[in-house]
Structure 1
Amino acid sequence: MFFGNQFANVVEWEEFRDDMIFWKWSNREIKKGSKLIIRPGQDAIFLNNGKIEGIFENEGEYNIASDIIPFLSTLKGFKFGFNSGMRVEVLFVNTKEFTVKWGTQNPIMIPTPQLPGGMPIRANGTFNFKVNDYVTLIDKIAGVKESYLVEDVKIRITSVLDQLLMKWISREGKDMFNLQANSFEIGKGISEDLDMQVMDNGMTITGFHIMSFNYPQEIQDKITKTASYEMIGNVQKYQQIVMTDGMASGNVKGGGAAADMAGMMMGMNIANEMMKQMNPGSKPSADSAPAPAAQSSGGKKANFCPNCGTKNEGANFCANCGQKLN
């Protein structure tokens, strides 16, 4: 003889995981006194012979006999006995939006006129999805599986992602060397196509984001150099800037006061040339013009060379740079 709640079951998601999309409570009987526990972020779907009997969305603890059975479409006439039960399946669904990281496994060869073999590009980012159609989910997946993981969806998505990236980069990637500028349009197109891929499983893509596009290192180096040339104007000015930076950092060194003076004069000349390029209609100001060589008064020889600053010992020409001193 059975007494009271001796055979009561607790129907709940016993194997809950954050990366699990659904889990099925099955092949067990519910009896008098059984309870249903629905936790936050879960829906409970009662099934009978693979068909939905009722969907319960509010979190909490429910008495199955009094709170659940009366609302089930075909099972509401079932009467609990003390020594009999009812075999039923309950599908617990994770209702949250899942975020998944993705990245291309191999470079995608994007056709481009500049490279006959195509532009090898890698990309990475995230996509979001959630369950939105329980009937389709049960018909296509839950009917044959006891559980379903985010990894299962990721595998399906990544299997077609390379082709979709190639499709939308070719369509929206107006500048192959600056794809990040068009990443929003590319991601939007891919999101729409991916939604069609998972729609037949009862899910929907709620977002697709491209964090970065990555080029081969040698191509990235050329992009950087090209940007430098465009910023400066031409190769000659680029070399001048490199020389000036080298002298300023101490990596380019000369000998003595003459080398220091020569470096300073070179820097002034480069600066004047760059100013002329930036303002072709302007003339050098009196302040920027080089000062005339110092003249000795009364025909006397200068004590210091006006060109390099070397001390003069009474000679007519500077011993260091050859500047005439009278």
Structure 2
Amino acid sequence: MGLFSFFKGQFIEVIEWLGGQDSMVYRFPAYDNSIKMGAKLVVRESQAAIFMNEGQLADVYGPGTYTLNTQNMPLLTALKSWKHGFNSPFKADVFFVSTASFPNLKWGTTNPVIMRDAEFGMIRLRGFGSYSIRVNDPALFLREIIGTSSSFAPEQIAGYLKSIIVTGVSDRIGESNIPVADLASAYEELSRNISKLLEPKFNAMGLSLTGLQIENLSLPEEVEKMIDRKSSMNIAGNLDQYMKFQAAEALREAANNPESGAAGTGAGLGAGMAMGQMFAQAMNGGGSANSGHSSTAPTPPSTPKKSFCSECGQPLAENAKFCSGCGTKV
């Protein structure tokens, strides 16, 4: 191998990145090698290539194949003060940025979010879900987030993005005034509103929030038990309909069990009617107690006790002083 062939082997003639599913940014390893003027730059779909000179952003290339020269590298040519027709090897940092979507990234509340509910008062709310992002401005993303890192994965900014999303979720839920019991039916609407709120913040980093989903908003256990109790009370609220339903069920059971006969049917109906009377009496008693009246039944008037003469045994008139039979003084 001649001296010329040795130097020619040190020049980079093809610059490309085969891509990685988990990486957003890839720095082409050209630290000690020089890039040959006229080298091929291959940028695949869902990629962008960025040239940097001593930390300054220069030219940005979209998908395609390029032959590097001073004509299609205007910014780098100006930064390096090249003269027209420059044909020598040069050094520059080359970054490939993936513009594909990165889906199924997770977010969740580290601590409960305190909010006010009209029915339950102050409550603590937890939530989690997923979101998707993509780089929509490679140069801005590289300048604001990446710096000079040789590689970059979404997990490296996941904590920061999660805090932005949790703040947006808390803000939108608090402003929506949706009752806690109705939150589950508003997940899709809340997700759209939160995405609109956060999109400008993501754009400022060169990113786009392509999707956000709320998978669950959960309440503390004690609040969930309170909701369960209230649901049970609402189900049993109309005792008249409930007892009619019970009677119909007893008839159905009797029809399905002919061996029980009329006695079984009567017993079922009797039990249902007795239960209905018991509930009705309990409700009436509770209503009178709540209205402030005493629930004690009135005492019936007492019957006067009869007295008799100690001498002759004749019945004595009321308040009599002498016996009408023998004249004995009472």
TM range (shorter): 0.5 to 0.7
Q: Kindly state the Cα deviation for residue 208 of structure 1 after the two structures are TM-superposed.
A: 2.1
Which residue of the partner structure matches residue 309 of structure 2?
A: none
Moved more, 219-228 or 233-242: 233-242
Q: CA separation of 1:88/1:243 partners in 2, compared to 1, >3 Å: closer, same or farther?
A: farther
Which residue of the partner structure matches residue 17 of structure 1?
A: 20
Measure the CA separation in 2 of the matches of 1:246 and 1:222: 32
Measure the CA separation in 2 of the matches of 1:108 and 1:242: 44
- Asked if 1:49 corresponds to 2:51, the answer is no
Q: CA separation of 1:160/1:57 partners in 2, compared to 1, >3 Å: closer, same or farther?
A: closer
Query: Any idea what the Cα deviations from partners look like across 1:247-298, whole Å, max 9, x if unmatched?
Result: 999xxxxxx768743464369879x9xxxxxxxxxxxxxxxxxxxxxxxxxx
Q: CA separation of 1:230/1:52 partners in 2, compared to 1, >3 Å: closer, same or farther?
A: same
Measure the CA separation in 2 of the matches of 1:247 and 1:2: 104
Secondary structure of 2:116's aligned partner: strand
Which residue of the partner structure matches residue 79 of structure 1?
A: 86
Q: Which amino acid aligns with 1:2?
A: F
Q: CA separation of 1:181/1:62 partners in 2, compared to 1, >3 Å: closer, same or farther?
A: same
Matches within 5 A, 1:30-41: 30-31=35-36, 34-41=39-46
Which residue of the partner structure matches residue 162 of structure 2?
A: 158
Matches within 5 A, 1:170-319: 170-230=174-234, 233-234=237-238, 260-262=264-266, 264-265=268-269
* Structure 2, gaps ≥5 residues long: 254-259, 277-330
Q: CA separation of 1:222/1:146 partners in 2, compared to 1, >3 Å: closer, same or farther?
A: same
Measure the CA separation in 2 of the matches of 1:104 and 1:128: 17
Which residue of the partner structure matches residue 4 of structure 2?
A: 2
| Aligned residues of 1:43 and 1:55 also touching (Cα < 8 A) | yes
Measure the CA separation in 2 of the matches of 1:173 and 1:264: 48
Which residue of the partner structure matches residue 328 of structure 2?
A: none
Q: Which amino acid aligns with 2:34?
A: E
Q: Kindly state the Cα deviation for residue 13 of structure 1 after the two structures are TM-superposed.
A: 2.7
| Aligned residues of 1:188 and 1:208 also touching (Cα < 8 A) | yes
Measure the CA separation in 2 of the matches of 1:108 and 1:259: 60
Say which of 99, 123, 133 aligns to 1:119: 123
For normalisation by structure 1, the TM-score amounts to: 0.64
Q: Kindly state the Cα deviation for residue 225 of structure 1 after the two structures are TM-superposed.
A: 4.5
Q: Kindly state the Cα deviation for residue 40 of structure 1 after the two structures are TM-superposed.
A: 3.0
Measure the CA separation in 1 of the matches of 2:57 and 2:209: 24
Q: Kindly state the Cα deviation for residue 86 of structure 1 after the two structures are TM-superposed.
A: 0.9
| Aligned residues of 2:55 and 2:148 also touching (Cα < 8 A) | no
Query: Any idea what the Cα deviations from partners look like across 1:51-88, whole Å, max 9, x if unmatched?
Result: 443322224x55545xxx5301043746344xxx2111
Q: CA separation of 1:146/1:257 partners in 2, compared to 1, >3 Å: closer, same or farther?
A: same
Query: What is the number of equivalent residue pairs in this alignment?
Result: 258
| Aligned residues of 1:130 and 1:204 also touching (Cα < 8 A) | yes
Which residue of the partner structure matches residue 70 of structure 1?
A: 71
Q: Kindly state the Cα deviation for residue 240 of structure 1 after the two structures are TM-superposed.
A: 8.4
Secondary structure of 2:181's aligned partner: coil
Measure the CA separation in 2 of the matches of 1:186 and 1:232: 33
How much identity, in percent, do the aligned residues show?
A: 23
* Structure 1, gaps ≥5 residues long: 250-255, 273-326
Larger radius of gyration: 2
Which one has the bigger helix percentage?
2
Q: Which amino acid aligns with 2:53?
A: N
- Asked if 1:101 corresponds to 2:106, the answer is yes
Measure the CA separation in 2 of the matches of 1:153 and 1:200: 14
Q: Kindly state the Cα deviation for residue 93 of structure 1 after the two structures are TM-superposed.
A: 0.9
Secondary structure of 1:20's aligned partner: coil
Which residue of the partner structure matches residue 132 of structure 1?
A: 136
Q: Which amino acid aligns with 2:24?
A: I
Measure the CA separation in 2 of the matches of 1:259 and 1:2: 113
Measure the CA separation in 1 of the matches of 2:47 and 2:41: 12
Q: Kindly state the Cα deviation for residue 156 of structure 1 after the two structures are TM-superposed.
A: 0.9
Q: Which amino acid aligns with 1:42?
A: Q
Secondary structure of 1:265's aligned partner: helix
Secondary structure of 1:19's aligned partner: coil
